[in-house]
Amino acid sequence: MSSTEGRFAGRTAIVTGAGRGIGESIARRFADDGAEVLIVGRSAEPLEESVAAVEAAGGRAWSLAADISSSDDVDRLVSAAMERWSQIDFLVNNAAVFDEPPFFENTADTFRQTFDINVLGTFLISQRVAREMSKRKKGAIVHISSIDALGADGPYSAYTATKAAVVSLARTMAVELAPHGIRVNCVAPGFVNTDMVHKITPKNIMDYMLNSFERVPMGRLVEPEEIAAAVAFLASDEASAMTGTNIVVDCGMTANLYALETLPEPIIALEGGS
C-alpha cells in the first residue's frame, strides 16, 4: 500500500524498541497503513535495518538512537520529531529489557536498570509526547505490556513487576489524559515467534512451540504481525471509545488455567462426550 493511502495516511508515529522483533513489526504495520514512522532504539545498526525494510515495502521511516530512560535523550528525540513533523499522532512504547537472574541471585542494580527502561522510560517519553499531543487535543499511546503482568512464567521478578506497572500506568494515564483528547491502552503479548526466541531455544523445542504447543489452546506461538495488528487497531479511530484497556494477544494461553490437563488422570472429559 502506498504511504499516501491507508487509515494512517498523513499521520506520524514513534515506535520505541523497533530495531527488531515485535517493535519492527509494529513500525512496518504503521508504515503499511500510511504513517511516517520514527524508529527508536539504543543501537543504530538495527534501526537502520528496520528503516530499510519499511522503505523497501513502500513506506516512510527514519530513525534515531536514544535511551528512553534518559530525560535528555527523550527531549532530543521528541524535539527532532516535532521539528520534522510539527505533530505526533501515535506513540508505541515497546522498548524493554529482559535479562535477569533468579530471585536469590538478583541485585538492586539489575532491578533498577529493568525499571529504568521498562517503566521510567515509558513514563518519560509518554509524558513528553503527551504534552505535544495535548496541544491538538488528539493522540493515541499504546504500551506493550505482557501476559507476565497477569502471572509469573519463570524466574523474572523484575521484568514481571515492570509489566504490571506498565498496565497500571496506562490506566492512570488514560484517566488523566482523556480530557486532553489522548487515549492510552496496552497490548499484552503471549509467547511470540521472534528471531530472539529462535536464537535462545533449541530447534526441537522451537518446532514444538510452533506446531503443537499443548499449553496453548491454539497450539502455537503468536506471530509478531498479530501483535502489530492489535496495536494498530488500538491506535486507530476504530478504537475511539477504548482507553485504559490491556488487550491480551496470546493464542488463548491465559484463558486456560491448565490445571485439569496436568493431573495424573482426567476427572472430567476434556474432549467430546458428555
- In the set 156, 159, 208, 258, the catalytic residue is 159
Is residue 159 flagged as an active site residue? yes
Report the 10 Å Cβ neighbour count for 264: 4
Q: Which SS3 state, helix, strand or coil, does residue 63 take?
A: strand
What residue type is assigned to position 96 of the chain? A
| Dist. CA 237–CA 189, nearest whole Å | 22
Q: Cell numbers of 145, please? A: 505490556
Contact 192, 229 (CB under 8 A): no
| CA–CA gap between residue 134 and residue 129 (Å, rounded) | 9
8 Å CB contact between 199 and 237: no
Separation CA 59–CA 53 (nearest Å): 9
Identity at 71, one-letter amino acid code: S
Helices 157-177 and 108-115, axial angle in degrees (round to 10): 30
- Burial code (b: 16+ CB inside 10 Å, e: under 16) for 88-99 equals bbbbbbbbbbee
Residues 6+ apart with CB under 8 A from 230: 187, 247, 249
The x, y and z cell numbers of residue 154, run together, are 519463570
Catalytic site positions? 159
